[in-house]
């Protein structure tokens, strides 16, 4: 279980964050009241279906929301400083050196006309002008080797189009890790990789936590990876955090019907010819979200008040919060899902 840090201030504290996109069809409320915090040496997992706001949250932290989008409300406190009040020059200094982000589409992020080794080295040179180009290239090649890239000297001389998707992903990860950032935002970092390479990359991320107290914000659809890697989990739905808490607690004793539905979709011990579970419906359009709780159209346990007001955050136990009226006065006999506990590691996440 994650260690409890009572006196330590969070490295990152996101408070009531809201992001809007002003389109010709209307205003898309991409994030609504998103709040969470992250301590040094801690990994927080963001879970949820595509379109729930996970990547937008990551981009907002780095102040990379472009028009027609804008951050309309909230605070993003990093090391005691509100990033929303920082200048663009200050944000450029932070990006890549203290806060790094691994993107979902590595070949779109890599420069097609510069050799990949030079791109990794350039990340170092931008943030440490005392470093020689030769030393930066040596460190870039060493990082490629650390991530399990065979013959890293040869791969460093290649261009992005000469790499496979998995190799390009590892080069992108090397670029983000080589500066040893204080906060690493990893958006589906292992989605294009086989299990062996996936394990190597997750081990490198764990090593950064141990050695330099790096905090990790991990966005992934793989709940098994989340169970093995994260200390805490925040489940997002339709631009809001609907449940968050320690990984063991949330995955063993999920309290929100959406979290329970996500975990039921894992095909554990499914009998032959048995249909796999799926949550009916889809994430609603954020141009015109449902009144009250956004999950109402897909929820089998919805009550009248669910369509009338946005549910508050109820505390189930210390550190475990859920936004669902079923846990108010009328939610005393809400059922749990026990079948999903086998995805959790036997030992606590490091």
pLDDT digits (tens, 9 = 90+) for 12-32: 999 999 999 999 999 999 999
Nearest-5° angle of CA 285, CA 288, CA 291? 110
Statement to judge: residues 153 and 193 lie in one domain: no
Query: Is there a domain that residue 33 lies in?
Result: no
Query: Residues 220-247: what's their mean pLDDT?
Result: 92
Which one of 180, 204, 238 terminates a domain? 180
Statement to judge: residues 168 and 304 lie in one domain: no
Query: Which of residues 2 and 153 earns the better pLDDT score?
Result: 153
pLDDT at position 109: 81
Query: Is there a domain that residue 77 lies in?
Result: no
Q: Beta 69-78 vs 232-237: how paired, if at all?
A: unpaired
Statement to judge: residues 302 and 339 lie in one domain: yes
Query: Is there a domain that residue 30 lies in?
Result: no
pLDDT in tens, 42-86: 999 999 998 899 999 999 999 999 999 999 999 999 999 999 999
- pLDDT of 125 > 60? The answer is yes
Statement to judge: residues 217 and 275 lie in one domain: yes
In the chain, the number of structural domains is 2
Which one of 120, 148, 180 terminates a domain? 180
CATH number at residue 219: 3.40.50.300
Are 220 and 45 a contacting pair, CB within 8 Å?
Answer: yes
> Hey, what long-range contacts does 126-133 have (CB within 8 A, 24 or more apart)?
126/96, 126/97, 127/93, 127/96, 127/97, 127/179
What distance in Å separates the CA atoms of residue 202 and residue 225, rounded to the nearest whole number? 9
Which residues, at least 6 apart from 271, have a Cβ–Cβ distance to it below 8 Å? none
Statement to judge: residues 185 and 332 lie in one domain: yes
Statement to judge: residues 203 and 294 lie in one domain: yes
pLDDT in tens, 166-214: 788 889 888 888 888 999 999 888 776 778 777 877 887 888 788 888 8
**Which span out of 166-170, 263-267, 306-310 was modeled with the highest average pLDDT?**
306-310
Q: At 348, is the pLDDT very low, low, confident or very high (cuts 50, 70, 90)? A: very low
Query: Is there a domain that residue 57 lies in?
Result: yes
pTM value is 0.86
Residues spanned by the domain of 197: 39-63+87-98+181-350
Query: Is there a domain that residue 2 lies in?
Result: no
Query: Is there a domain that residue 109 lies in?
Result: yes
SS3 content of the chain, % helix, strand, coil (to 5): 35, 20, 45
pLDDT at position 195: 80
Statement to judge: residues 229 and 282 lie in one domain: yes
- pLDDT of 7 > 60? The answer is no
Statement to judge: residues 188 and 261 lie in one domain: yes
Statement to judge: residues 206 and 300 lie in one domain: yes
Which one of 180, 213, 241 terminates a domain? 180
């Amino acid at each position: 279980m994650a260690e409890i840090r009572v006196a330590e201030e969070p490295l990152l504290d996101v408070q009531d964050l809201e992001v809007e996109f002003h389109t010709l069809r209307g205003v898309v409320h991409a994030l609504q009241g998103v709040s969470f915090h992250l301590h040094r040496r801690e990994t927080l997992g963001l879970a949820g279906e595509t379109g729930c706001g996970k990547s937008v949250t990551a981009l907002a932290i780095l102040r990379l929301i472009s028009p027609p989008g804008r951050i309309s409300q909230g605070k993003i406190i990093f090391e005691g400083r509100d990033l929303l009040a920082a200048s663009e020059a200050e944000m450029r200094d932070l990006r890549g050196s203290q806060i790094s982000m691994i993107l979902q589409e590595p070949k779109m992020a890599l420069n097609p006309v510069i050799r990949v080794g030079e791109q990794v080295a350039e990340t170092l040179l931008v943030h440490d002008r005392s470093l020689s180009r030769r030393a930066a290239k040596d460190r870039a090649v060493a990082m490629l080797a650390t991530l399990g890239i065979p013959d890293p000297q040869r791969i460093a001389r290649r261009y992005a189009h000469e790499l496979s998707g998995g190799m390009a992903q590892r080069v992108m990860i090397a670029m983000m890790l080589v500066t040893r950032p204080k906060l690493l935002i990893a958006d589906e970092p292992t989605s294009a990789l086989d299990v062996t390479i996936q394990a190597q990359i997750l081990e490198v991320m764990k090593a950064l936590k141990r050695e330099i107290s790096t905090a990790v914000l991990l966005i992934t659809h793989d709940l098994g990876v989340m169970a093995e890697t994260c200390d805490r989990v925040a489940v997002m739905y339709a631009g809001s955090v609907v449940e968050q808490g320690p990984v063991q607690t949330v995955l063993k004793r999920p309290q929100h019907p959406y979290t329970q539905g996500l975990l039921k979709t894992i095909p554990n011990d499914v009998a032959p010819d048995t249909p796999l579970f799926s949550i009916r419906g889809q994430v609603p359009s954020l141009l015109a979200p449902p009144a009250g709780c956004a999950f109402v159209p897909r929820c089998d346990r919805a009550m009248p008040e669910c369509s009338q007001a946005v549910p508050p955050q109820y505390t189930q136990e210390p550190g475990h919060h859920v936004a669902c009226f079923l846990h108010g006065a009328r939610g005393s006999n809400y059922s749990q899902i026990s079948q999903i506990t086998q995805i959790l590691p036997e030992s606590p996440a490091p």
